[in-house]
Amino acid sequence: MPEKIGVYVCHCGTNIARTVDCKSVAEYASHLPNVAVARDYQYMCSDPGQEMIKKDIHELGLNRVVVASCSPLMHESTFRRAVSSAGVNPFLFQMANIREQCSWITENRELATNRAKAIIAGAVTRVSFNEPLEIKKVPVNPDVLIVGGGITGIEAGLQIADSGRKVWLVEKEPSIGGYMARFDKTFPTLDCAACILTPKMVSVGQHENIELLTYSDVIDFSGYVGNFTAKIRKRPRYVDEEKCNGCGQCEQKCPLSVPSEFDCNLGKRKAIYRPFPQAVPGTPVIDREHCLYFTKGACRVCEKFCPRGAIDFEQKERIVEVPVGTAIIATGFDVFDASRVKEYGYGRLPNVITSLEFERLTHASGPTAGKILLRNGKPPETVAIIHCVGSRDHNYNEYCSRVCCMYSLKTAHLVHEKTDAKVYEFYIDMRAFGKGYEEFYKRLLEEDVTFVRGRVAEVSEVAQNPSEKGKLVVVAEDTLLGIVRRIPVDMVILSLGLEPRKDALEVAHTFSISRSRDGFFLEKHPKLAPVSTAADGIFVAGTCQGPKDIPDSVAQGGAAAANVLSLIDRKEVELEPSIAIIDENVCSGCKICLGLCPYHAITFDEEKSVAVLTAALCKGCGVCVAACPSGAIEQQNFTNSQLLAEVEAVSA
């Protein structure tokens, strides 16, 4: 059958048409070999645009189609569906990207138009060599992996589990709850964080569809959408979760106290401990680093007092392999390390504390039982809150951490409520953008908090006059008054920004997902696919994707759950057929490809002395194709003839 190609040049409103002369490009395309029709149109992706293609397929008998418009990442699937519905195999369609990589990059209309012509010539030449391909469908394993047991992972887990699907929830720490479990109140409603979080934690712990793996991490993740295998390492707690009933005897009897990480090292915990009383699961862990039995070889007091014989010093780490169909990454954030900002004196000046430390101080079950106290045990008379520590700063992170303005207001409110202290807030801009946020800011303005607009230059203990003696002096330019102010205070609270977790790169590698420039995980599209990633079947939610407050994190957890459930309910997924195929008649049996394949998809048939490819394992990177000295391997939809034709056409 002779090739009859239809070429459609999209204006994309003015997005393309402004710098590319679409009419002349279409006119040019109409003279390319095998082109039966070439048209230009306002919006090819619109219904009339797609109808135009279908109509031409029916009336003119087109058997191949090229659409020159946006990036294939945007609309390739749209047009593949359109041609397919008109009876043309979707792989006989080729997209030419003349927007993202042509019209948007220059103001030079002549050059852009020439470039568009070359790109289209490449696509038209290539499409003649395209072959019809079958899309393989594979079943979706309905089990879901969720990494991270903070509020986002909890929300996603409960949504999915409630629908009757099985969830494997993996948490690194001994308990789920994440950062939210450490907060006292939440803005702007001043809800008690524990009161709204712990019921959800308990639901997770008791849910028949949730398999909770705490003190664990995912060490390997392989497979493809619908059919992944997660390898999870469960570290030993040295306490049998089946036998333990969480009575807490062991914690009481343990003779060794060490600083509690959960309390930012402000309080103490035992060597066998639960990070906090409402921990889920309630089973404690033995901290091997400190436990006297592990360090000195003697003690075992916990073992003696445990009424259920749950202590097991011989417990070993376990590797669990779990088949799942989809995964949600909700690994959260790290707070900025305040000691990096030397001029604020954190770590050097004892009464300079971080916002997270403040959360623990003001928390009823924290180290001071909710009292806001200086290191000397006295309540402060004046408190300064410094915004944007580690955020909106070229030296650290350029982005705004989004939550600090609001939690700083909450901090001010709590200080005001619990002490008689005078509160100063130093801010750059006040960002109160959410529901009820601006109203909360108004409320604080009326609560007698002094707001100083300006970035703090320094926190100093050097007094310049008697009123500053024994105080911390906050030096800042008040940009509204245009003067430099020195305000003596007793306590400085640094409002820390949010950062990607230290192990974000490792996690990105494990799951083959990308990170944006700021180090957070990269979503597929910032607006239209905020929880999807470039890797099908793997979703991101919450603060691992970027700073967010609790409402937004919960919303994303729910969004990721909906995405996952939609995939599961489809029951099958389509796989890109761009895999390699080996022609055994051409293969010389040199075995070069065997060592190159990262998925061990190629094996060697000793009898025939040829390489054999297992299609289900091939992911379509094409490494073997480029390496085969005999030209025996081809990659479907990226064959040598397709690529060579495209290269020749765009180079001419």
Q: Which residues bind other proteins (CB under 8 A)?
A: 71-73, 97, 99-108, 111-112, 114-115, 118-119, 122, 505, 508-509, 512, 514-517, 522, 534-535, 578, 596, 598, 619-623, 625-627, 635, 638, 640, 643-644, 646-648, 650-652
Question: Cβ 109 to other proteins, closest distance in Å?
Answer: 10
Write the CB contacts of 90 (distance below 8 Å, at least 6 apart in sequence): 80, 81, 83, 84, 135
Residue with tokens 């009897």: 253
**Residue with Cβ nearer other proteins (23 or 515):** 515
273 closest CA partner among 292, 299, 289, 254: 254
Question: Cβ 644 to other proteins, closest distance in Å?
Answer: 6
DSSP string covering 485-550, please?
Answer: EEEEESEEEEEEPEEE-TTHHHHHHHHT--B-TTSSBPPSBTTTBTTB-SSTTEEE-GGGSS---H
**Residue with Cβ nearer other proteins (52 or 613):** 613
Work out the number of other CB atoms within 10 angstroms of the CB of residue 383: 28
**Residue with Cβ nearer other proteins (296 or 600):** 600
CA distances (Å), 587 to each of 131, 411, 612, 613, 621, in order? 22, 70, 10, 12, 19
**Residue with Cβ nearer other proteins (167 or 628):** 628
Question: Cβ 78 to other proteins, closest distance in Å?
Answer: 16
CA distances (Å), 233 to each of 49, 80, 518, 624, in order? 52, 42, 29, 33
DSSP string covering 431-477, please?
Answer: ---STTHHHHHHHHHHTTPEEEES-EEEEE---SSGGGTTSEEEEEE
Question: Cβ 503 to other proteins, closest distance in Å?
Answer: 14
Question: Cβ 596 to other proteins, closest distance in Å?
Answer: 6
**Residue with Cβ nearer other proteins (229 or 516):** 516
List residues bridging with 456 in a β-sheet. 476
**Residue with Cβ nearer other proteins (114 or 278):** 114
**Residue with Cβ nearer other proteins (126 or 269):** 126
Question: Cβ 548 to other proteins, closest distance in Å?
Answer: 18
CA distance 425 to 355: 13
Phi and psi for 21 in degrees, rounded to 5? -80, 90
Question: Cβ 85 to other proteins, closest distance in Å?
Answer: 24
**Residue with Cβ nearer other proteins (70 or 180):** 70
CA distance 210 to 605: 44
**Residue with Cβ nearer other proteins (135 or 623):** 623
Token pair in block for residue 29: 């395309």
CA distance 242 to 453: 56
Question: Cβ 281 to other proteins, closest distance in Å?
Answer: 35
**Residue with Cβ nearer other proteins (388 or 513):** 513
Asked whether the beta carbons of 158 and 209 are under 8 A apart, the reply is no
Question: Cβ 147 to other proteins, closest distance in Å?
Answer: 19
Question: Cβ 43 to other proteins, closest distance in Å?
Answer: 18
Instruction: Using DSSP, state whether 640 is helix, strand or coil.
Output: helix
